[in-house]
Structure 1
Amino acid sequence: MRLAILGGGESGTGAALLAKQQGIDVFLSDAGIIKADYKHLLTTHQIPFEEGGHTIEKIQSADEVIKSPGIPHTATIIRKLQNIPIIDEIEFAARYAKGKIIAVTGSNGKSTTAHLIYHLLHAAGYQVALAGNIGYSFAKCLTQSTYAYYVLELSSFQLEAIKDFKPAIACLLNITPDHLDRYHSSIEAYAQAKLNLLRNMTPLDHFIYNKADPITTQYLPKQKILPQLHPISPIDNPNNLLHLNGQDYTLSTSREQVALLGRHNQYNAMVAATAAALAGLSSETIATALPTFCGLPHRLEWCGAPQGIDCYNDSKSTNVASTTAALLSFSQPIIWIAGGIDKGNNYAPLLPIVQEQVKAIICLGKDNSAIIKSFRPLGLPIKETDNLSSAIDNALSIALPGEVILLSPACASFDLFKNFEDRGNQFKEQINARIQK
């Protein structure tokens, strides 16, 4: 068998390493320049590769092609390979995984939920790995060790072309508009990519989902074969009585039990706890491990209180739904730092929340016109800048002690920053610098 891989990032390099380990003849091709650390791995393992363009003849000679999830199916190179099976790294890696897969997807909250499931299973002594969209490729993970459970965070891009992939436990947190530029402004196409998670699941498997999510609940009756369903309600009541694995669980995700800010994180914790229970953890083990999870960077991350003003880094919030959850996490007045690359956002759902919660808006981006147009009718103070330091200074000049400065952009970061992590890290550094003064 000959395998061609398109893309030399984390996903493609991981797939190449796994293919080589399995004795497969593999060739990797990247239209751009491959990062030095990935190039070193390919060279060390004697995997042939090219960068700076695709040699179509070499790729067309393959029996199967693995593409990076960042390459859409409409890409020119993909259209030239119509007669060759094309799969994603997740699909390829799953062929060689001996342990059970717990898959987590959703528009918002999947990183926190996947990390928390991993945390709970690891605390219980399980042999468990964390991989997927989280920064570590599933394929590379398989080359390093064998685990009983694989917790995978999966994006819609990774789920678009599922053929045989099947998790034992799947979590679909929510479906709200995101990445619509990839899906030609179609929420239906985006939702279908997420719901591909169910494609091969059987009544022996388990599906945890948001029972208040209309798209998910409308889809389920159309599915001929369904796994066991575990609907979770993102309501105020933080206690749920669950009957799983032949026993009753009373799982508390109250603010005292979960060291995460916001009602949405209580819901994420309940999903994670349910997945852990389905994997065999006792309610006592879950209750002991939950409070020791402190959350992830760039997700409502407290980063100091200069002048007595609490500052939160929520740079990971790159869509309206995620920023909505962030704004609703506070009772104090908020100076909201927002903006970046607008992904076709509809800001209308935010208007009543901003009117109620926000004292002033600081627009941080190269083009702030969409945000200014949407929120100007509220009559709130709005300032704009393309400089983070200026944005923070403006916010501090408006905020009073006891109030909140919240970086929750609702937009992508690539106009001014490398990525959302870079944006969040720079925010934290600048807040810390002002505390040190």
Structure 2
Amino acid sequence: MGKRLVILGAGESGVGTAILGVKKGFEVFVSDFGKIKETYKQVLLHHEIEWEEDGHSEKKILSADTVMKSPGIPDTAPIVVKLEKAGINVVSEIEFASQFTEAMIVGITGSNGKTTTATLTYALLERGGLNVGLAGNIGKSFAKQVAEDDFDQFVLELSSFQLDGIKSFAPHIAVLTNLSPDHLDRYDNDFQKYIASKFRIAMNQKEDDYFIYDADDEVLVEWLEKHPIRSQLLPFSNTKKLEKGAYINNEEIILTINNKNLTMPIASLGLQGKHNQKNAMAATTVATLLKIRKATIRECLESFQGVEHRLEKVLKINNVMYINDSKATNVNATFYALDSMETPTVWIVGGVDKGNDYGDLLPLVNEKVKAIVCLGVHSEKIIKAFGNVVDIMVETQSMQDAVNVAYKLSQRGDSVLLSPACASFDLFKNYEDRGRQFKEAVRNL
């Protein structure tokens, strides 16, 4: 590998990669097409790393031996197209950093549930006494942690964009939580391309590695049958009895691996809902493979309360529960959210539509939703999809307005649910910003 490393994008993954690059003796140059956050600038200055913002100096970039491209930059960006034409190696942070660690890696991907599964897996391993780091699409940069910490294991939450930039990366344990159409705008509106991207997590795995997956996901199972992988398969299911892997029977999770058994009553899980049973089964399978004690696993599953912005209960006001599910950036995630509602619901939805098909939500909306508050730029499709099912639909352009309208439309015993089913980039920095604004608006009621 040549020694000139150019990094495109000076966010968390870019700056983390720069720190690791310097440590490993690379000549590093960081280039951001937009503005670099002040905090990241300070880090680059501290490490004496050359950087630029508000544009790309082509000559400097095309002189690279290796380019680390941040996941937010599409392959169609002009500078990336030029790099590919020049035959320059373009990789993701995950690919770059994984070459410099001996740590055992658990990689977790999927359309939904990956953050909860990754956070829960990390909690199980840490409580089990392992020296483990959590990175990828979550928390501190993987590359930065490889540079500065000496972990024995890493739990990585991986997006399809991060997996698109791998060449030799191979997690010892890979988890694929589920597949549903998402980010199709980045995959030529072709679901098959998106599925192939997710399955890259297993492409370099060997026979002594493991692949944990949802056996109830027809799309996933069908793809596996047509494109067999080398690693050992460990399925989990809510509906089928499995000889090995995890399944649910008589309100209990039953896990069997290498003649080891674990049972856990569903009622004692800290996280409720069918999707969370699956997240728990996936995380428990990882913990069992890594020999975490049964008692530790049970204790951790009982106490784990979930992640911010994922069906997070904010406040009860006038006997109305306000729930923040800002992390639901696609239809499938919102499906789970609506499915878990047990009271009449005022639903705040909308944002940047990523080619959504709202058809799957119709039965749930019909059953659970009393009013819809549209928030964001793409309201037309939502109004068209649900206009015949829901009597009250209101369009809003700010979180404050949306929450105020929802407050007026709700009655004692109702729930107000923010579950946008869309990306957040029209009115917010990201889904976290959207969730925090929701919580603030609720607290100000």
Alignment partners' CA distance in 2, 1:12 and 1:366? 30
For the residue of structure 2 that corresponds to 1:181, the secondary structure is helix
Q: How far is 1:321 from its partner?
A: 0.3
Do the aligned residues in 2 keep the contact of 1:108 with 1:174 (CA within 8 Å)? yes
Structure 1 34/393 Cα, relative in aligned 2: closer, same or farther at 3 Å?
closer
Kindly indicate whether residue 273 of structure 2 is the aligned counterpart of residue 262 of structure 1.
yes
Q: Partner residue of 1:243?
A: 256
Do the aligned residues in 2 keep the contact of 1:251 with 1:270 (CA within 8 Å)? no
Kindly indicate whether residue 173 of structure 2 is the aligned counterpart of residue 162 of structure 1.
no
Counterpart amino acid of 2:48? Q
Out of 1, 8, 11, the position equivalent to 1:9 is 11
Q: Partner residue of 2:321?
A: 310
Alignment partners' CA distance in 1, 2:123 and 2:167? 29
Do the aligned residues in 2 keep the contact of 1:262 with 1:326 (CA within 8 Å)? no
Q: Partner residue of 1:51?
A: 53
Q: Partner residue of 1:37?
A: 39
Alignment partners' CA distance in 1, 2:390 and 2:300? 46
TM-score (norm 1): 0.95
TM-score (norm 2): 0.94
Counterpart amino acid of 1:181? D
Alignment partners' CA distance in 1, 2:253 and 2:342? 25
Alignment partners' CA distance in 2, 1:50 and 1:365? 33
5 Å matches for 1:271-286?
Answer: 271-286=282-297
Q: How far is 1:246 from its partner?
A: 4.1
Q: How far is 1:239 from its partner?
A: 2.4
Deviations for 1:58-114, whole angstroms, at most 9, x for unmatched residues? 222222211111112222111111211111110010001111000110111111110
Kindly indicate whether residue 160 of structure 2 is the aligned counterpart of residue 153 of structure 1.
no
Kindly indicate whether residue 402 of structure 2 is the aligned counterpart of residue 391 of structure 1.
yes
Do the aligned residues in 1 keep the contact of 2:349 with 2:419 (CA within 8 Å)? yes
Deviations for 1:174-210, whole angstroms, at most 9, x for unmatched residues? 1101111111111111111101001011110111101
Unaligned runs of 5+ in 1: none
Alignment partners' CA distance in 1, 2:166 and 2:45? 30
Out of 367, 387, 405, the position equivalent to 1:356 is 367
Do the aligned residues in 2 keep the contact of 1:251 with 1:283 (CA within 8 Å)? no
5 Å matches for 1:419-434?
Answer: 419-434=430-445
Q: How far is 1:399 from its partner?
A: 2.1
Q: Give percent identity, aligned residues only.
A: 48
Alignment partners' CA distance in 2, 1:185 and 1:272? 31
Q: Partner residue of 2:136?
A: 132
Counterpart amino acid of 1:396? Y
For the residue of structure 2 that corresponds to 1:378, the secondary structure is coil
Structure 1 352/29 Cα, relative in aligned 2: closer, same or farther at 3 Å?
same
Counterpart amino acid of 1:51? E
Q: Partner residue of 1:18?
A: 20
Cα-Cα RMSD: 1.5
Stretch of structure 1 that moved more, 239-248 or 364-373: 239-248
Counterpart amino acid of 1:58? K
Counterpart amino acid of 2:231? P
Q: How far is 1:319 from its partner?
A: 0.8
Stretch of structure 1 that moved more, 23-32 or 326-335: 23-32
Stretch of structure 1 that moved more, 318-327 or 5-14: 5-14
Q: How far is 1:144 from its partner?
A: 1.4
Unaligned runs of 5+ in 2: 240-247
Q: How far is 1:373 from its partner?
A: 0.6
Alignment partners' CA distance in 2, 1:390 and 1:315? 16
5 Å matches for 1:358-377?
Answer: 358-377=369-388
5 Å matches for 1:117-266?
Answer: 117-223=121-227, 225-235=229-239, 237=249, 238-252=251-265, 254=266, 256-266=267-277
Alignment partners' CA distance in 1, 2:41 and 2:347? 41
Alignment partners' CA distance in 2, 1:387 and 1:48? 39
For the residue of structure 1 that corresponds to 2:235, the secondary structure is strand
Stretch of structure 1 that moved more, 359-368 or 320-329: 359-368
For the residue of structure 2 that corresponds to 1:34, the secondary structure is coil
Do the aligned residues in 2 keep the contact of 1:413 with 1:420 (CA within 8 Å)? yes
Q: Partner residue of 2:244?
A: none
Out of 337, 355, 358, the position equivalent to 1:347 is 358
Q: Partner residue of 1:292?
A: 303
Alignment partners' CA distance in 2, 1:30 and 1:180? 25
Do the aligned residues in 1 keep the contact of 2:118 with 2:156 (CA within 8 Å)? yes
Counterpart amino acid of 2:374? C
Q: How far is 1:245 from its partner?
A: 4.2
Equivalenced residues, count: 432
Q: How far is 1:269 from its partner?
A: 1.1
Structure 1 203/383 Cα, relative in aligned 2: closer, same or farther at 3 Å?
same
Stretch of structure 1 that moved more, 406-415 or 233-242: 233-242
Alignment partners' CA distance in 1, 2:390 and 2:345? 15
Q: How far is 1:350 from its partner?
A: 0.4
Alignment partners' CA distance in 2, 1:39 and 1:234? 47
Counterpart amino acid of 1:105? T
Alignment partners' CA distance in 1, 2:442 and 2:44? 40
Counterpart amino acid of 1:267? K
Counterpart amino acid of 1:375? F
